[in-house]
Structure 1
Amino acid sequence: MDIKLGLRSNLVANLTGNTDFANADVDTQQFNLTPYKLFFPEKRQFFLENAGVFNFPLAGSSDLLFFSRQIGIDPITGQEVPINGGAKITGSLDGFELGLMDVDTRSSGPNPYANYAVLRVKRSLPGGSYIGVMGIDKRSGSRTDPFNQTGGVDTRLVFFKNLIFSAYAAQTRTPGLSGGQTNLGAVLNYQSNWLDLYQEHRKIGRHFNPEVGFLERTDCLCDYLDANFKVRPKMRRLRELNFEGFFFHAPDTHGVLQTQEWQGAFRAIFHNGSYSDDDIADVFTQRITDPFNIYKNLVIPNGLYHWTRHQLAYGSPQDRRLQVQLFERFGTYYNGHLNEARVRATYRAKERLSFSFSQQWNRFRLALPGGNFSVVVGSFQTNYSFSRFLSISTLLQMDTANTQAASANIRLRWNYRPDSDLYVIYTAGQRFASLVAASPAQFTENRFAVKWTYSWSP
C-alpha cells in the first residue's frame, strides 16, 4: 500500500506498507572489468520520487553518501529484502529544502531486520549555490554490526556563472572500527565556450564505511584533473571538435600507489547528432592487493600491473529511425590482452513500436591457466503501445558469465485512470544486480505478479 499526502503546497509525505516493487524496471546486466563496485541506479518508485532532495554527491564520481538501493535489496546477491513500511517527507519549508525518511525492513535470509533513518537539509544561496547537512542512522538485528551512522556537510558555490566550487566533509561510525572514518573532498569546475576544466581532490579514510551509501573505494588520496578544449570550425556539417585529456592518481593514505590512469582523446560532434570518440591512448596502472576473481574460478593474483589500451567509437545521427552506436577498445590488460566490442541499436518502426538491441563481446587472452575466454553480454528490448493507456514491454538479456545466462522481463501496463495502473509482470532470471566488487553469484527468480494501483484525492 502506498499513500501520498500534500502537507503544504510544496511539502509532500509518502507512506508505504508491505511494499511490492514488482513493477520496477530490472537492472541492465553488466560485466565488471574492475576490482571495484559497479553503480546501478535506483529503479523503485517510492525511492525515486523526489530523490534529488536526498542527493549528497561525494565529489564528481558516482559515490554517494546516501544510496537508497542499500535499503530493501541484498547488496551481495541482489535479492529483494521485504520492507515492512516506510515514510518520507520531501519539499521546502521556510527557505530550506527538506528530506526526511524512515524505512523498516524485516529479516530475510542472511539479512537481519533493520531500520533506516535519513535526514537531509539544504539552504539555497544566490546564483544556484547551497549549503547542506545530512545524517543517516542504520540499526539492525546483527550482533556484529548493530548500527552504522553517517553524517556530512556540503556546499556548492557558483561564481561568475561558469566557475563552481564544491566541497564536503563526512564521517561514519561503525562498531569495531576506530580512526580513518572520515572523507573530505573538494571540486573546482570551470566551463566556457572553448574550455572545460575540472579538478578534484579527495581524502578517504581506510575505515570510512557508509553502509547506506555507495563508495567505490576507501583508503585513498584521490586526485583527478580533466581539461577539454573545444573548437567550432566553420565547416558545413561539423559542429565541434574536442581535444580532451585527464589524469587520475590514487595512492592510499600511506602514499602507496593503487590506481593511476591518464588518457588523451579526440572527439568530433556533427550537426545531425552523430559523433566519433577516439582515445589516442589510455594508460593504466592498477595494484591488486586482494586476488581479483574476474571470471568463474579465474583469479588475477596480487601485484602491480601496467597496461595501455585504445578506443574507437561512433554514434549515428539522432534524427533517424535507426540509431546505431559502435565501440571498439583494444590493448593490453593486466598480464594479457583484452578486446571489447559493443554494438547498440535502436529502431523506431512506428510511433507505437520500437526495438532496442545491445551486444558486448569481451575477448580475454590472459597469461593464466584457462585465461583464453570470452564473455558476451547482450539485451533485446521491445516497446509497443496499443493506445495512450495500454502498453507492453519486453526485455531479454544474456550474460554468459552468470550461471543462468539468460533472463527475461515482460510487463503489461494499463493506465485506466490518471495516476492509477494495472500491471501484469513476468520475470525469469535476475532483477536487481549485486553492488559488491568482482562477480558474486546473482539471485535469480521466476515470478509472475499482478499489481493494481488506485489513487484518489480526499
Structure 2
Amino acid sequence: MKRLISILVLLLAFQNTSAQEQPIIEEFILEAQKSPITIRIDGNLDEEAWNNAVITSDFLNKWPKDEGYAIGQTKAWILYDNEYLYIGAINYQKKEDLVIKSLKRDNSSYHWESDAFTVVLDPYNQKTTGFIFGVNAAGAEVDGIVSIQNSRTQPDFNWNNTWTSSVKVHDDYWVAELAIPFKSINFDPESDEWGINFVRNDMLRNEYSTWTHVPQGFPGIDLGYLGTLKLQQPLEKRRQRIAVQPYMLSSVNRDFEESSSYNGDADLGLDAKIPLGSSLKMDLTVNPDFSTVDVDQQVTNLSRFSIFFPERRVFFLENSDLFSSFGTWGVRPFFSRQIGISDGNLVPILFGTRVTGNVTDDLRVGALNVQTKGIDDISANNYTVGAFQQNVFGRSSIKGLFTNRSGFDGTNSFNEDFNRTMGLEFHYASESGRLSGNARYHWSQTEDRLNDASFVGATLMYNDGDKYFGITADRVGDNYINDLGFSMRSFQYDAERDSLIRVGFNYLNPWAGFVIRPESDFVNSHEFSTWTVMSWETNGELIDRVITLNYELSTFNHGFVRISARNNRVRLLFPTDLIGGDDFLPAETYIYNTISLNYLTDSRGVLSAGVNSSYGGFYNGTRLQFGGELNYRTQPWGNFGVRYVGNRVELPDNYGEATLHLIGPQSEISFSNNLNWTTFLQYNTQAENFNINSRLQWRYAPMSDIFLVFNDNYGTENFGIKNRGVVFKMNYWFN
C-alpha cells in the first residue's frame, strides 16, 4: 500500500510540474439561435436562418500534429427549434480528392477512414456521457454514445436512434446537414449550456481537425475537451414517446449430420422503448432474435486461456457502458455474452428489460433483467444486473455493480442454484485527463458460501501524448465465482482430467512508453514501449511472467511498422495439450523468447495490405506464425479483402506438431446508404470448420430493416456439409 501511495504522489507531482499545452483560443463558445421555421434537410443550407446563425471559429489541428490551424478548413453552424437540433457544416475539399471507404451506415472504422464530419454532444454538460453523430462525404451515417470507461473517453457505435442527414458535394467543398430530434436524446430542460465539439476527417492530407483544442494522446471526441453550446433559451420539457419495433421471421435450416430433411420455422417478437419520466428509459425485448447479427471473426487459439469475443447483440449493446465498464481488461465482473450463450450455442431468451438514465444530473443508474428458457441439459435461468454511477470531483465517479443468476423457469425458483456478486469502484480522472486511475472491490457468493471470494485491485495511469505509464494490480480470490463475468486467468486446463480448474491469482501489469515526433514529411512518430504481465497463485508461487519490448514507426499516411521482442516464463499448473499431441506437456516451468514484425500500408489507397510474422520458442519447442491481409476498394460501393493466419508448431518427442491455417475472405457491396450485402468466408483448420455467412440488409424506413441471411458450414477434411440455413427477417419502427 505504501508503494501505491508513493506512485500516486509521484504522478500528481509530475502532472503539476510538466508543461501544459495551451489552446490557441482560450474559450470555445458557440451560440445556437432558435429558428423561426422548420429547416429542410437537403444539404443546401439555403434557409435565411442559416445566414443569421453564428459560425464556428477556424478548426484546429488534432492529428498528426496538435498545433496550429487545419489546412483543410471547416465551418459549422447550429440552429434549433422545438423539435430538432440542426447542424450545418461546409467542409473544404476538392471533389476529386475525396476518399470514401463505403456507403454502408453504422460502420465506425469506415467512417474514420473516410472524408467525414462528426459532432459530439454532451447535453448535461457533465463531461461524463454524451452522443455522437456523423456522416461521410457520401452520406453514410454513424451514431452512438460516448462515455468514460476506465477513466478514458470511449465511443459505443451500437446505439441507434432516429435522426436525419443530407450531404451535397460541390467542386471545392461538400456540405453536411443534420437534424437530431430532441426526443432521440436525453437532456436537461432547465439548462441552456451543452458540451459540444466537431471532428473533421481530411483524408487527402491524412489529417484530423477539431473545433476545440484536443491534445495529442486524447481522441478528438474526448469529453474533457468539449466547447460550450449556448442555446438562445432553454428547451421546453417534452413528453417522450413510446417506440415499438416488432419483427417477423421465417427460416429454413437443416443439420446434415442429424437430419435428412429441411425444417422450416416462423417466429414473432418485439422490442420497445418506453420513457419513464424525462431522463429514464425502459428497453423491453420479447422473444428476441439474434440470427442476423454479425458473425464472430474466428481466431487461432494456441494460448492456455479462453478467447474473449465481443458482444454483438443489440439489446445488450445499447447503454452497455453502464454495466460493462467495471474491472480491467483481464477481469470483467459483468460480460453480457454469459447470458443466452452456452459453449458458443444460443440459449433462447424469453424476455428482457433494461432501465437506464439519469436520476439527477450527477447520478446515472441502470437495471437489467433477462429470463432464458431451459433446453436439453441447460436449465432455465433468471439474470438480474444493477449498476449506478455517481459523479464526484469533476470528472471522477463512484460506481456500483450487482449481478445475480438464479435457476428459475418462470414458475419455480431453484433456491440452491444461484450466483451473485456485488462491487464498488472509484474512478479518478483529472480535469486534463492526463492522470487517471481506479480502485475496485468485488465480492461473490454461491449456495456454498465460500471464503476468499473477492476480487480487489487498483490502476494508475498517466498519458500526456508524448509519454505514458501506468500499473494495474489485482487479486482474484480462489473462490471468486462470477457466472456473469469473464476472467480468462481464473481457469486452467487440466488435460489429464479434461476439465477446467478454478485458480485464484495475484496479478501485476506495469507499462510505460514514450513518443518522438521528428520534423519530417514522412515519419509521424517513433514510439518505444514496454508491457509486462506477471501472475502468482494466491500462495505466492509464480504462474507466469511476460516482458515485451516494442518499437513502432508510424507515417503520415497511416502506415506503420512494429517490432516486438518478448520473454516468456510460464509454469504450467497441470499437464496441458495445446495442439493434440500424443503426450501432454508436463506441468513444469518453461522459458522461451519470441520476436515479431508487423507492417501495414496506407489504408487510404485503392489497394492496401499488411503482413505480420513471429518466430521463437513455444514451451519446449518452436512456433512460427505468419500471416497478412489484402484489401481492395472500389470507391464508394465496394470493399473486398482476404486475411490469412498460419501457424507451424513443433514440439519435441511425442508432444506433437501442427500446421494450422485460418483464411478469411470477405466482401462488402453497398448499393446505397441503406442497402448493403456482406459476405464472410472463414476456413479454420483448428476448428475443422469452413463457414459461409452472407447477409443482405435493406433499411427501407428509419430504424426499420429487412434481412436475408444465408449460413453454411462444412468440414475442412472432405468439405462435407454440416448444416445450412436461410433466414428472412423484417422489423418496423413505430414511434
- For normalisation by structure 1, the TM-score amounts to 0.92
Report the residue type matching 1:197 in the other structure: F
Counterpart check, 1:287 vs 2:571 = yes
Separation in structure 2 between the aligned mates of residue 65 and residue 115 of structure 1, nearest angstrom: 17
Separation in structure 1 between the aligned mates of residue 347 and residue 526 of structure 2, nearest angstrom: 48
Q: Deviations over 1:232-269 (max 9, x none)?
A: 12122111111111222211111111010111111111
Separation in structure 2 between the aligned mates of residue 103 and residue 152 of structure 1, nearest angstrom: 20
Separation in structure 2 between the aligned mates of residue 453 and residue 427 of structure 1, nearest angstrom: 20
Residue of structure 2 in register with 1:439 after alignment: none
Residue of structure 2 in register with 1:428 after alignment: 712
Residue of structure 2 in register with 1:415 after alignment: 699
Residue of structure 2 in register with 1:386 after alignment: 671
Report the residue type matching 1:427 in the other structure: N
Out of 546, 551, 575, the position equivalent to 1:261 is: 546
Question: Where do 5+ consecutive residues of structure 1 fail to align?
Answer: 431-443
Q: How far 1:11 sits from its partner (Å)?
A: 2.2
Q: How far 1:370 sits from its partner (Å)?
A: 6.4
Q: What are the residue-to-residue correspondences of 1:187-202 with 2, within 5 Å? A: 187-202=459-474
CA contact (8 A) 1:177 1:207 kept: no
Counterpart check, 1:169 vs 2:441 = yes
Out of 317, 336, 346, the position equivalent to 2:631 is: 346
Q: How far 1:10 sits from its partner (Å)?
A: 3.4
Q: Deviations over 1:208-255 (max 9, x none)?
A: 111101111231111111110111121221111111112222111111
Residue of structure 2 in register with 1:446 after alignment: 724
Residue of structure 2 in register with 1:123 after alignment: 390
1:163–1:252 distance in 2 versus 1, CA, 3 Å? same
Separation in structure 1 between the aligned mates of residue 544 and residue 376 of structure 2, nearest angstrom: 36
CA contact (8 A) 1:230 1:241 kept: yes
The 3-state SS of whatever aligns with 2:345 is: coil
Q: What are the residue-to-residue correspondences of 1:372-383 with 2, within 5 Å? A: 372-383=657-668
Out of 344, 348, 351, the position equivalent to 1:82 is: 348
Out of 314, 317, 322, the position equivalent to 1:45 is: 314
Q: How far 1:64 sits from its partner (Å)?
A: 1.2
Residue of structure 1 in register with 2:49 after alignment: none
Out of 345, 365, 376, the position equivalent to 1:98 is: 365
CA contact (8 A) 1:39 1:62 kept: no
Q: How far 1:178 sits from its partner (Å)?
A: 1.3
Question: Where do 5+ consecutive residues of structure 2 fail to align?
Answer: 1-269, 491-503, 715-721
The 3-state SS of whatever aligns with 2:341 is: coil
Separation in structure 2 between the aligned mates of residue 297 and residue 278 of structure 1, nearest angstrom: 31
Q: Deviations over 1:135-181 (max 9, x none)?
A: 00100159797100011001111135211121110011123351121
The 3-state SS of whatever aligns with 1:110 is: coil
The 3-state SS of whatever aligns with 2:315 is: helix
Counterpart check, 1:146 vs 2:417 = yes
Residue of structure 1 in register with 2:333 after alignment: 65
Residue of structure 1 in register with 2:690 after alignment: 406
Report the residue type matching 1:174 in the other structure: T
RMSD: 1.8
Out of 182, 194, 206, the position equivalent to 2:478 is: 206
Report the residue type matching 2:506 in the other structure: L
Separation in structure 2 between the aligned mates of residue 139 and residue 14 of structure 1, nearest angstrom: 22
User: What count of residue pairs does the alignment treat as equivalent?
Assistant: 439
Separation in structure 1 between the aligned mates of residue 374 and residue 541 of structure 2, nearest angstrom: 41
1:381–1:119 distance in 2 versus 1, CA, 3 Å? same
Q: How far 1:290 sits from its partner (Å)?
A: 2.5
Q: How far 1:337 sits from its partner (Å)?
A: 0.2
Separation in structure 1 between the aligned mates of residue 444 and residue 618 of structure 2, nearest angstrom: 35
Between 1 and 2, higher relative CO (CA 8 Å, sep ≥ 6) is seen in 1
Report the residue type matching 1:194 in the other structure: D
The 3-state SS of whatever aligns with 2:632 is: strand
The 3-state SS of whatever aligns with 1:229 is: strand
Residue of structure 2 in register with 1:325 after alignment: 610
The 3-state SS of whatever aligns with 1:33 is: coil
Separation in structure 2 between the aligned mates of residue 170 and residue 98 of structure 1, nearest angstrom: 18
Out of 306, 321, 324, the position equivalent to 1:55 is: 324
Report the residue type matching 1:136 in the other structure: T
Q: Deviations over 1:272-317 (max 9, x none)?
A: 11111101x2000112123323234664332211110001111111
CA contact (8 A) 2:532 2:548 kept: yes
Separation in structure 2 between the aligned mates of residue 91 and residue 160 of structure 1, nearest angstrom: 24
Q: How far 1:110 sits from its partner (Å)?
A: 2.5
Q: How far 1:365 sits from its partner (Å)?
A: 0.7
Out of 231, 236, 252, the position equivalent to 2:537 is: 252
Report the residue type matching 1:276 in the other structure: V
Separation in structure 1 between the aligned mates of residue 459 and residue 655 of structure 2, nearest angstrom: 43
CA contact (8 A) 2:355 2:366 kept: yes
1:350–1:193 distance in 2 versus 1, CA, 3 Å? closer
Q: Write 1 or 2 for the structure with the bigger share of strand.
A: 1
Separation in structure 1 between the aligned mates of residue 456 and residue 674 of structure 2, nearest angstrom: 48
1:144–1:11 distance in 2 versus 1, CA, 3 Å? closer
CA contact (8 A) 1:327 1:341 kept: yes
Counterpart check, 1:133 vs 2:405 = no
The 3-state SS of whatever aligns with 1:292 is: coil
Q: Deviations over 1:44-83 (max 9, x none)?
A: 1111111112123313x24311111000000x2x110000
1:413–1:145 distance in 2 versus 1, CA, 3 Å? farther
1:87–1:144 distance in 2 versus 1, CA, 3 Å? closer
Residue of structure 1 in register with 2:525 after alignment: 240
What's the % identity of the aligned pairs? Answer: 26
Report the residue type matching 1:148 in the other structure: N
Report the residue type matching 1:13 in the other structure: M
Counterpart check, 1:110 vs 2:377 = yes
Separation in structure 1 between the aligned mates of residue 452 and residue 406 of structure 2, nearest angstrom: 22
Separation in structure 2 between the aligned mates of residue 402 and residue 166 of structure 1, nearest angstrom: 39
CA contact (8 A) 2:302 2:579 kept: no
Report the residue type matching 1:287 in the other structure: R
Q: How far 1:23 sits from its partner (Å)?
A: 1.0
Separation in structure 2 between the aligned mates of residue 58 and residue 131 of structure 1, nearest angstrom: 13
Q: How far 1:206 sits from its partner (Å)?
A: 1.0
Moved more, 65-74 or 337-346: 337-346
